[in-house]
Every structure is written in structure tokens, then in C-alpha cells.
Amino acid sequence: MQDLDIQKLTSIVGQQNITQNPTDLLIYATDAAQIKGRALAVIWPKTTGEITQIIAYANKKDIQITPRGAGTSLTAGAVPQNSIILDLSKMDKITQETSDTITVEAGTILDDLNTHLRQKDKYFPVIPSSDTVATIGGMLATNAAGTRAIKYGKTSDWTEEIEIVTGKGDIIKTKDINEFASTEGILCIITKATLKTTSLPEQTSITTYEFSTAEELVEKVKQLKKDKSIAAIEYIGPFTSSMQDETPKYHLLIEYENNTGTHKTTEEIEKAWKQRKGLGTVLSAAGYPKIEDPKIPEKNIAAFLNWLKDQNIPNFGHIGYGIIHCRIKPDHDLNEFYRQVKNHNGQVSGEHGIGLTKKQYIPQTLKDELKKKKQKYDPKNILNRGKMI
Ligand SMILES: Cc1cc2nc3c(=O)[nH]c(=O)nc-3n(C[C@H](O)[C@H](O)[C@H](O)COP(=O)(O)OP(=O)(O)OC[C@H]3O[C@@H](n4cnc5c(N)ncnc54)[C@H](O)[C@@H]3O)c2cc1C
């Protein structure tokens, strides 16, 4: 790898949009996964044209690039490995709007987008819990989901068109979102997206249940999934509930987009969600800072939950969508965990992606598919080298 030609890069983006300040490099050396890498420089491009020039330079000099949105990756996807960080956060403009779509630059923060849309009684309904900072580019690159995935699916389901710059430097506009969603910045930089929007629900309400066994819980979830007015089916496991001073049972929370639920006032709804949303802090403080997100087929969920119970692994999650969030101690050996995910026919990740931390657990077929795409779009392997594959 050659030394960085900072003068050349500065001539592309301007002095105020590039840094090699040691403090900046230290901050950008990690993301929410808290694994440390090494950044050579941080660059904030402002246009697609600047990105193509940076990519041309990187190809010529064999310099690696790590794309970054807000750095909320829980799998070290945005951790640099002797690479330039390309931080998209200054590309955050709304460029076009119709009654049911909105086109934004990739660095747009979801919460800012929804604040804008709410003025028109509209919103973008795929909302990960990181929505106050997560960017549309990062959400597409990981194909983020969230608590309402049972009704609204993933980010790609609500994306009509994307503009990308491939690792070869080609600018492509495409409606084939699935070719690039979930590829975590290893094929292209997503620069723009046309997103579908929908009307805000007129009313929401919540019902909660408690169950003693995983089998009873899953049976109820199966019934509830038939009701199309339900937007979220979330559960908290018994061990996790006990850490919140709740009865050590399975707690189920159902959000309806009408007034079917028993909790109807804003205060009641906020109180019900508070217990679910405050879990991260409680579990980290209790010594379980790491989070896994396997997706398990409905028929195997009860068996998987019983295995987690035997192992004392606290869990909760988007059970209606099959995503079981498991909180793990720092020294926990994950090999047996992922053997169990495989034995229960589960996927390694339901929403957080693969990044660096899960790449040894993904199936060979997926690796082969990604390698083929890598050869097609980024043959010199300058984008997010070493991630996913
Ligand atoms: C507290 C917390 C809660 C979370 N909750 C959820 C949740 O409910 N659901 C969920 O799905 N995820 C969740 N996540 C994971 C993460 O927030 C999401 O995956 C989010 O979509 C990442 O957005 P970001 O802008 O932070 O991307 P980053 O973390 O910056 O990047 C994520 C990956 O995408 C790549 N990337 C970023 N921008 C681009 C781009 N423009 N072009 C190409 N590649 C790019 C990066 O290289 C990296 O591999 C959570 C994370 C945290 C810390």
C-alpha cells in the first residue's frame, strides 16, 4: 500500500473536508461494536462527483476505503482497517419529493427525514432503534429493520431507486435494490436513495401479555401474526424481565395501528414501550454488553428460547419477525451459540449485518455469492476490504 497523497485528496474535497488529526483518527478508529481499527484519514465528500474522484485515486494507488454513516454498526462494519474513512454525513440533502416518495442523499439521518415528513402526516416506516443518528446509506448497506418489521419489513422494501458509485468508479442508478442492499459497503458507496413514504397511523394502541413457557408465547405470536393491524410483536425473556424487577416470565408487547389494544393513551403507550426500549442499558450494566441478532424460523423459536434459558443468556426481540436479540458477556465463546443458531435453521443476522464480527459464521454459499459480486463491482477490493468475506 502506498502513502496517502493528502494534497491530491485535499484538491478533490477541500481542506475543511479532510483530516489526519490524531484525535479525529482515534474517534473514527471504532464504531458501536467497539472494536478498534486504524484510519489513515477521514474525508467528508459533498457530491457524487467527489466520490468518483476519490475512488479513482484509491484504485490507482491501492488505498482502501471504509464507507461510514453514523458508525452505529454493531458488527464493526464501519471500523477502518488501514483505510480512508469516507464519512457521508455531509451529504444529507433532500433532492426531490412527490406525494409518496422522497429522494435523499445517503448521509441523511432517518430521524431528520421523519421530522420533515411528519409535517405532511407522512413517515418512513422502517425505524431501527438507532434512528436518531442512523443514516439512510448505512440503513440500506445493512438493510436495517426494527420493531415494526413484521408489518413494514426492511429498508430495501421501502426503497424505489438508489444511486451508487461502484468500487470501479461507475455511477449507477438502479431499481434493483436487492443487488446492493445488505452488502455493507463492500461493493459500492450508496450516494442517494428514493424512498417510499406512507401516512402516519391515525391511532395506535398496545396490549401486553405474560406467559410461563416459550411454547405458550410462540403459540400466541402465531395467532397474532394473522392480524394485519398489528405493527409490532415484541417479547422480553424471563431472565431479562427479572433484571428489570418484573416477574420472571415471557412478556409480550403488541402494537396495533388502531384502538384494539388495551393501553390507548399516549402516556400508557409510552410507559409500555419504555420497558422494552430501556433494555440495552439494563443489560449492559448487568455485564451483558454484546448483542447478537439471529433470525430463527417460527417453528424452531420455542426450542431456541429454551436453549437460551438453559444457558442463562438474556434475550428479547422482534419475535413476530423471528429476530431474537441475545445479550452476551464479553468472554462468551460464540462458536456454540452459532452452532445452535444453525441447528435451529436460523440465519446468523436478522438485521445488524455481518461486518467483521460474524463473518466466520456465514454460510459458504453466501460468501461465494458475495465474492462473485465483489469481482464484478470492486475487482481491486478497495471498498471495506476484509468485511463480510
Ligand atoms: C443503539 C443501537 C440500536 C440499533 N438498533 C437497530 C435496529 O433496531 N435495527 C437494525 O436493523 N439495526 C439496528 N442497529 C444497527 C445499526 O444502527 C443499523 O444497522 C444502522 O442502519 C446503521 O446505520 P449507520 O448510518 O450508523 O451506518 P454505519 O454504522 O456507519 O455503517 C454500517 C455499514 O454500512 C456501511 N455504509 C455506511 N454508509 C454507507 C454508504 N453510504 N454506502 C455504502 N456503505 C455504507 C459501512 O461501511 C458499514 O459496513 C442499532 C445500533 C445501535 C448502536
Residue 180 phi/psi, 5-degree rounding, is -120, -20
Q: Taking a C-beta distance cutoff of 8 angstroms, is the pair 69, 45 a contact?
A: no
Separation of 352 CA from ligand 1 center, angstroms? 7
pLDDT of residue 23: 97
pLDDT tens digit sequence for 4-39: 999 999 999 999 999 999 999 999 999 999 999 999
User: Quick one: pLDDT band at residue 245, thresholds 50, 70, 90?
Assistant: confident
> What is the domain partition of the chain in residue ranges?
6-90, 94-200, 205-352
- Strand, helix or coil at 262? coil
Separation of 74 CA from ligand 1 center, angstroms? 8
Residues with CB under 6 Å of ligand 1 are: 31-32, 66-74, 77-78, 88, 106, 128-130, 134-135, 137-139, 141-142, 144-146, 184-185, 189-190, 351-352, 355, 384, 387
Region 177-190: mean pLDDT is 98
pLDDT of residue 2: 54
The closest-lying atom of ligand 1 relative to the alpha carbon of residue 154 is: 11
Nearest-5° Cα angle at 107, 388 to 111: 105
Separation of 146 CA from ligand 1 center, angstroms? 12
User: Quick one: pLDDT band at residue 275, thresholds 50, 70, 90?
Assistant: confident
Q: Who's near 255: CB < 8 A, 6+ residues apart?
A: 147, 148, 204, 205, 206, 230, 231, 232, 234, 261
Separation of 142 CA from ligand 1 center, angstroms? 6
The closest-lying atom of ligand 1 relative to the alpha carbon of residue 109 is: 25
Separation of 217 CA from ligand 1 center, angstroms? 30
Region 203-220: mean pLDDT is 97
**Residue 298 in this model has a pLDDT that exceeds 90:** yes
Please determine whether the domains at 6-90 and 94-200 fall in the same fold group of CATH: no
What are the distances in angstroms from CA 85 to CA 31, 39, 48, 70?
12, 6, 16, 12
Nearest-5° Cα angle at 352, 96 to 165: 45
CATH number for the domain whose boundaries are 94-200: 3.30.465.10
Separation of 134 CA from ligand 1 center, angstroms? 6
C-alpha of 52 from chain center: 25
User: Quick one: pLDDT band at residue 3, thresholds 50, 70, 90?
Assistant: confident
The closest-lying atom of ligand 1 relative to the alpha carbon of residue 106 is: 41
Q: How large a percentage of the chain has pLDDT more than 90?
A: 95
Separation of 369 CA from ligand 1 center, angstroms? 22
pLDDT tens digit sequence for 43-86: 999 999 999 999 999 999 999 999 999 999 999 999 999 999 99
pLDDT tens digit sequence for 330-342: 989 899 999 999 9
Q: Who's near 155: CB < 8 A, 6+ residues apart?
A: 126, 136, 139, 140, 143, 144, 145, 181
Q: Who's near 327: CB < 8 A, 6+ residues apart?
A: 240, 283, 284, 288, 289, 290, 291, 313, 314, 315
Pocket perturbation via mutation, ligand 1, pick of 28, 66, 73, 388 by most ligand atoms within 8 A of CB:
73
Pocket perturbation via mutation, ligand 1, pick of 43, 85, 88, 129 by most ligand atoms within 8 A of CB:
129
Kindly state the cell numbers that stand for 348.
Answer: 446468523
- Strand, helix or coil at 355? coil
pLDDT of residue 389: 94
Q: Which CATH number fits domain 6-90: 2.40.10.220, 3.30.43.10, 3.40.50.880, 3.40.50.1970?
A: 3.30.43.10
pTM of the model: 0.96
The rounded radius of gyration (Å) of the Cα atoms in the chain is 21
pLDDT tens digit sequence for 364-387: 999 999 999 999 999 999 999 999
Separation of 78 CA from ligand 1 center, angstroms? 8
pLDDT tens digit sequence for 125-144: 999 999 999 999 999 999 99
Kindly state the cell numbers that stand for 163.
Answer: 444511486
CB-based burial of residue 278 (10 Å sphere; 0-12 exposed, 13-18 middle, 19+ buried)? exposed
Separation of 215 CA from ligand 1 center, angstroms? 33
**Residue 248 in this model has a pLDDT that exceeds 60:** yes
Pocket perturbation via mutation, ligand 1, pick of 30, 42, 68, 323 by most ligand atoms within 8 A of CB:
68
Whole-number Å distance between alpha carbons of 272 and 267: 9
pLDDT tens digit sequence for 164-181: 999 999 999 999 999 999
pLDDT of residue 176: 98
Mean pLDDT of the chain: 96
Pocket perturbation via mutation, ligand 1, pick of 46, 72, 92, 133 by most ligand atoms within 8 A of CB:
72
pLDDT of residue 276: 85
